Structure 1
Amino acid sequence: MPRASSRRRLLRGTAGLAAAGLLAGGTSIIAAQSVRPAAAASSGSGDIPTVAAASDLKFALEELAARFTGETGRKLRLSFGSSGNFARQIEQGAPYQLFLSADEDMVFRLADKGLTVDRGTLYAVGRIVLIVPRGSPLETDGELRDLAAALADGRLKRLAIANPDHAPYGKRAEEALRHAGLWDAIRPRLVLGENVSQAAQFATSGSTQGGIVAQSLALSPQVARNASFALIPAAWHQPLRQRMVLIAGAGETARAFHAWLQQPAAREVLARYGFSEDKEEGGREKGAGSSRWTGTR
């Protein structure tokens, strides 16, 4: 897809959502503070650490941070975005103290450069879904048969995914579409979100007929009230092994939150948002691949 063309589609979709008041952003202070990545990177951390988190965690991590603050009295500053963008910002010296990535390879990359305390901890395995807003002509079909039919009969005009260039959930959406044999035909109709949270907003705002996004977002009450979804088979894409890591120099509060996220109560919240635990916690080093992913057909 030509970059200028995809950029125009992205801007048109963003403008429509901004008018509807649906774009993520702004600041909410309850127990934790949510800020945009650029603002987080330029703000002084003080004794309130800034946590860089993949946007599929938006609803789950806000709940977790509120619980952590309620239990400990320690405050956090949450910043949501694409894992690839956060990794680049950390490489450039952005003052994040804890990074929750949707792709463990990005954590390994930072660790190889000596920017982290260690090689991190696997905290969840994510899934992608086909999400369909109310009133869409698409069927909620995780094996994408109706999506193929909708391409052929003209029902599908636009489909939202996160940008595969830097968003792990966008890359997995691309892999699934390639597996289904739909990638080349559907590329001109894609609307790219800067991250998977924005893609979910595009998919459910009425500006597209649907999208491929994170199950964790589709399960949130804010999204579920306006859409239905179906899981896409895990074998259609590489696994979304999500790893968190403390950045070198992380303070006491960031370390406490990192440890707290590994407790059973935190894992229960993650499970409610569709995240699973990987029984092979030994970890997949970069380049090792996965025996579950069957690749494209």
Structure 2
Amino acid sequence: MSFLKLLIRQRGITALIMVCVCLFSVAHAAQAPAIAAAANIKFALDKIADNFEEQTGLSVRISYGSSGNFVSQIKHGAPFEMLLSADEFYIEQLHKAGYTQDAGVVYAIGRLALAAPKQSELVLDENLAGLKQLITDGKLMRFAIANPEHAPYGERAREVLTAKGLWDAIQPKLIFGENASQAAQFTISGSTQGGIVPLSLVLAPQFSKMAHYVVIPDELYQPLNQRMALMPDASETTSRFYQYLQSQQAQAILSEFGFNLPNTLEAHD
């Protein structure tokens, strides 16, 4: 056999192997169950999912968005096997309608932060005095929060602004993110002078490089009890991931990203 024919044959075999590898990867991805998760938990959950795959060899496909939108999608047949909501309300809504196995469990308690790009003139303080001054001086042009109509973190941001007597004055200046993650992007991009966003997102390195923040006191808004639940047809992989999220390892990562931890979870090693 000539060298040229041998080379062609070898290349053909290599190409066949690459095709098989690609097909296996696609098949593997297709088998990974779909999970819906609130956008505010992205950085923590990505890390948890990586650890889960490393320890078990099992993987999950996570879609991030607003809890309210996911509820609508699940009711319309979206094939999610599990929902990690940013609030209890949405899981309760699904459970009452028969879309979950049970009432689920609170996996984390969310917290809010007042944040601003490093070049912003907004002075940050936990009592929002700097924000009030900027509004009073007529210098606030744009301020970001998640849409309070379907994003729990936006709803709580509205509670904070209302508690501080700023809601009416700030409404014309508000830029709504479709979810908490988009609101955080608006906040750090420089397109706004600041925003009220999840603490879990501002603690991520991608955020801290571009913005400053202060933690908003928990007593200014109703608790963000983030609840998760399995759908009736959840696979074994999803069920194991659900349990893993309640483990000490996963809870430590959630704490690292600024979440308060519920005292109702049992420790799973």
TM-score class, shorter-chain normalisation, is: 0.7 to 0.9
Question: Which residue number in structure 2 is paired with residue 70 of structure 1?
Answer: 54
- Alpha-carbon distance in structure 2 between the residues aligned to 1:222 and 1:270: 17
Helix, strand or coil: the match of 2:31? Answer: coil
Residues 200-257 of structure 1, C-alpha deviations (whole Å, 9 max, x = no match): 0000000000100000001001101111111111111111000010011000110010
1:143 positional shift? 1.0
Q: How many residues align?
A: 238
- Alpha-carbon distance in structure 2 between the residues aligned to 1:109 and 1:274: 27
Moved over 2 A (4+): 278-281
**Contact 2:124/2:131 (<8 A) preserved:** no
Question: Which residue number in structure 2 is paired with residue 4 of structure 1?
Answer: none
- Alpha-carbon distance in structure 2 between the residues aligned to 1:198 and 1:250: 29
Structure with greater helix percent:
2
Amino acid of the residue matched to residue 218 of structure 1? V
2:204 matched to 1:220?
yes
- Alpha-carbon distance in structure 1 between the residues aligned to 2:234 and 2:51: 21
1:180 positional shift? 0.3
Question: Which residue number in structure 1 is paired with residue 261 of structure 2?
Answer: 277
Amino acid of the residue matched to residue 245 of structure 1? A
**Contact 1:122/1:244 (<8 A) preserved:** yes
Question: Which residue number in structure 2 is paired with residue 3 of structure 1?
Answer: none
2:93 matched to 1:109?
yes
Q: TM-score, normalised by structure 1?
A: 0.78
2:131 matched to 1:144?
no
Equivalent of 1:250 in 210, 214, 234: 234
Q: Identity percentage over the alignment? A: 49
Q: TM-score, normalised by structure 2?
A: 0.86
**Contact 1:216/1:274 (<8 A) preserved:** yes
Helix, strand or coil: the match of 2:176? Answer: strand
Helix, strand or coil: the match of 1:129? Answer: strand
1:277 positional shift? 1.4
Larger of the two Rg values belongs to structure? 2
2:259 matched to 1:259?
no
Equivalent of 1:237 in 221, 228, 253: 221
**Contact 1:138/1:155 (<8 A) preserved:** no
**Cα RMSD (Å) of the superposition?**
1.3
**Contact 1:47/1:253 (<8 A) preserved:** no
